[in-house]
Amino acid sequence: MKNKKESIKLIEKLLINIGEDVTRAGLVDTPKRCVNMYEELLSQTGVDPKYEINTFFESENEEAILVKDIQFYSLCEHHMLPFYGVCHIAYVPSNKKITGLSKLARLVESSSRRLQIQEDMTLMIANALEEQLSPKGVYVIIEAEHMCMAMRGIKKIGSKTVTSKKTGIFLEDKDLVKDIEYKIKL
């Protein structure tokens, strides 16, 4: 965070503006805790997540590799409220090039730690995989619940938003897409 002390004062001012007493026991350290929280949740702002894909291996496998149910949480750039859910990543290797499975989870983690919309997070993950692995195709699906829909406005708790991005062979091979969707029970 660029100016932590200033941010703490801004949170304190916000609490005062909504009518809170910032000297009461429960709120004394709230501005500091709030700033620390945002620092953690937004720690990858400005960082290109593609660099999480930095370990490569060779494999004779030419079938789709799927890592499903990678849990994440992020913050909506419109209301700064959380959205959270799971990300499913499938790719078909090209030229025997694969990456470690944990690198896919790290990619999701890095992609989630910023203010954004789910649609852009989906594209960010797919683009990183395309750039770092040059696979035959990528299929990224994100299912998430948005607190901006659950806590305010329409107040629809439990509704989920599903976004996806397909490239390469996943655009051409409908059976491959059906197989991946069956495996993740979409």
3-state secondary structure of 33: helix
d(Cα 116, Cα 130) in Å, to the nearest integer? Answer: 21
Domain co-membership, 100 together with 179: yes
Domain co-membership, 29 together with 110: no
What confidence tens digit (pLDDT) does each residue in 17-52 have? 999 999 999 999 999 999 999 999 999 999 999 999
Domain co-membership, 25 together with 80: no
Domain co-membership, 76 together with 153: yes
> What are 125's two structure tokens?
């993950």
Do residues 132 and 94 touch, judged by C-beta distance below 8 A? no
Mean pLDDT within 50-77: 97
SS3 letters across 73-102: EEEECCCCCEEEEEEEEEEECECCEEECHH
Predicted pLDDT of residue 115: 98
Q: Specify whether the backbone of 175 is left (phi greater than 0), alpha (psi in -120 to 50) or beta.
A: alpha
Instruction: Evaluate if residue 167 carries a pLDDT over 90.
Output: yes
- For the entire predicted model, the pTM comes to 0.95
Domain co-membership, 111 together with 35: no
Predicted pLDDT of residue 10: 97
d(Cα 133, Cα 59) in Å, to the nearest integer? Answer: 13
Domain co-membership, 108 together with 79: yes
Domain co-membership, 122 together with 169: yes
Predicted pLDDT of residue 53: 98
Q: Are strands 97-99 and 56-58 parallel, antiparallel or unpaired?
A: antiparallel
Domain co-membership, 155 together with 121: yes
Range of the domain at 23: 4-41
Do residues 83 and 145 touch, judged by C-beta distance below 8 A? yes
Give first-to-last CA distance, the chain, whole Å.
39
Domain co-membership, 160 together with 87: yes
Domain co-membership, 18 together with 71: no
DSSP 1: -
Q: Indicate which CATH number applies to the domain containing 148.
A: 3.30.1130.10
Q: Provide the number of structural domains found in the chain.
A: 2
Amino acid at 55: T
Mean pLDDT within 95-119: 98
d(Cα 79, Cα 61) in Å, to the nearest integer? Answer: 43
Domain co-membership, 154 together with 179: yes
Domain co-membership, 60 together with 30: no
> What are 102's two structure tokens?
């944990």
Predicted pLDDT of residue 2: 82
Predicted pLDDT of residue 54: 96
